[in-house]
Amino acid sequence: MIKYIKDIDNNILDIAELKQLRACQHTFSSSKSDIILKKKYYESVISFFDWYIDYCSKILNGKIYSDKQISECVFRADIDTEHKLKEYLLKSIYTSKEYVEYLKTKITETNIHKYDHTVTGLEIDLEWLIAHFEVHYRKSVTKISLNSGRRKNLSPTDIYSAARTLFFIEEFDHIEDLYLRDLKPAVMFQIRQLLEVFGRNLIGYYSILDKDGNIVKKFTQIAWDFIKEEIKQTTPRIEFPFDVHMILAINGWSNSFVHSTYIYSSYIQFFALKTIGVLFYSKTKGIKIFNGKTTTKFNCADIKINAYNSLKTDFENYLKSRMADISIEWMDSKDVGAYIITE
């Protein structure tokens, strides 16, 4: 049961473990060489983590969600109904618990200083999540005032600072000197680029050119748009060994970050990184392809394509219905990021 402090038509979360963590964090930051303060800080982190894991466990009551179920909620572009919000909060509780459990296995008394920025950002996001879950899902109270907060978007200065930090990273002696608040969201840029390149490789082309031979930049997402339509067919020519809707959701989410610079909670970024691993996971030692040979690809999962030539033709028509006078620079079939089963 969450406790609250009443404050004139409002409520403030009263979580002893979180208060203790912030107090220990403050004293540790004033003297990071003090061994006793470091030990207290570490113990307060673990104590809060244990409290949070227990809080989530009681909510979930043993319920397990698939990556698809989580993806459908936490990567939504719009949360415009009460039902969607409640589902978003519940799945966020689930994946944040996973992230806290992961961090608990990595953080030690020896390395706690390296995780200081991570813990600071996480405790702010978890307080937000707890407050919104209590208000909107459990409806324990009508309003909760937060004790903490953070800037939600990266500014041009933040992005410039992160770019400089990454490029000159060798000049930093200690990881705790890196300002991770600005740096870690670069993960979302990389996820977006990864998916753009992966989709292009999956269809099997290098670039899309206009009539003058210049690369058409507005089609960066066209491969996934086409794939989205292809999988709606009764017998899609592309076979995925995982639910591709998860990847489509992450792709939309990462694209929105590029344009909005909204910094999503670290547990959402953690889930996205974990989930896109399916793009590269293979269960086989080789697959027999169109030329009769058994081959193994190390840059993609066991994605299979049937009737590849017709797929290419349809993709080209799909493009030309959006822009006439374009051409496609196709890859050699051996370089396609999928197993071509039949041509």
pLDDT at 7: 67
DSSP letter at 193 equals H
Separation between Cα atoms, residue 27 and residue 37, nearest integer Å: 7
Q: What is the largest CA-CA distance in the chain?
A: 76
Is 182 in contact with 195 (CB distance < 8 Å)? no
Whether 139 and 87 share a structural domain: yes
Beta carbons within 10 angstroms of residue 41's beta carbon:
25
- DSSP-assigned states of every residue in 305-322: ESSHHHHHHHHHHHHHTT
In sequence order, the β-bridge partners of residue 11 are: 6
Whether 235 and 282 share a structural domain: yes
Whether 143 and 288 share a structural domain: no
| Domain assignment present for 181 | no
Helix (H) or strand (E) holding 294: strand 294-295
**pTM as predicted:** 0.90
Is 17 in contact with 46 (CB distance < 8 Å)? no
Whether 104 and 206 share a structural domain: no
Domain encompassing residue 262: 187-340
Is 145 in contact with 11 (CB distance < 8 Å)? yes
Beta carbons within 10 angstroms of residue 211's beta carbon:
10
Single residue among 105, 130, 150 that ends a domain in this structure: 150
Provide the token pair at 177.
């000197």
Single residue among 129, 150, 171 that ends a domain in this structure: 150
Whether 116 and 203 share a structural domain: no
Whether 32 and 89 share a structural domain: yes
Whether 146 and 205 share a structural domain: no
Whether 212 and 286 share a structural domain: yes
- Of the CA atoms within 13 Å of residue 203, those in its CB half-sphere come to 31
pLDDT at 8: 64
pLDDT at 1: 62
Give the SS3 label for residue 327: strand
pLDDT at 70: 96
pLDDT at 141: 86
Domains: count for the chain: 2
| pLDDT by 10-residue block (mean), the chain, 343 residues | 71 90 93 92 98 97 95 90 95 98 97 93 95 92 86 87 89 83 86 95 96 91 95 96 94 87 91 95 91 92 97 96 93 95 96
| Domain assignment present for 164 | no
Whether 126 and 210 share a structural domain: no
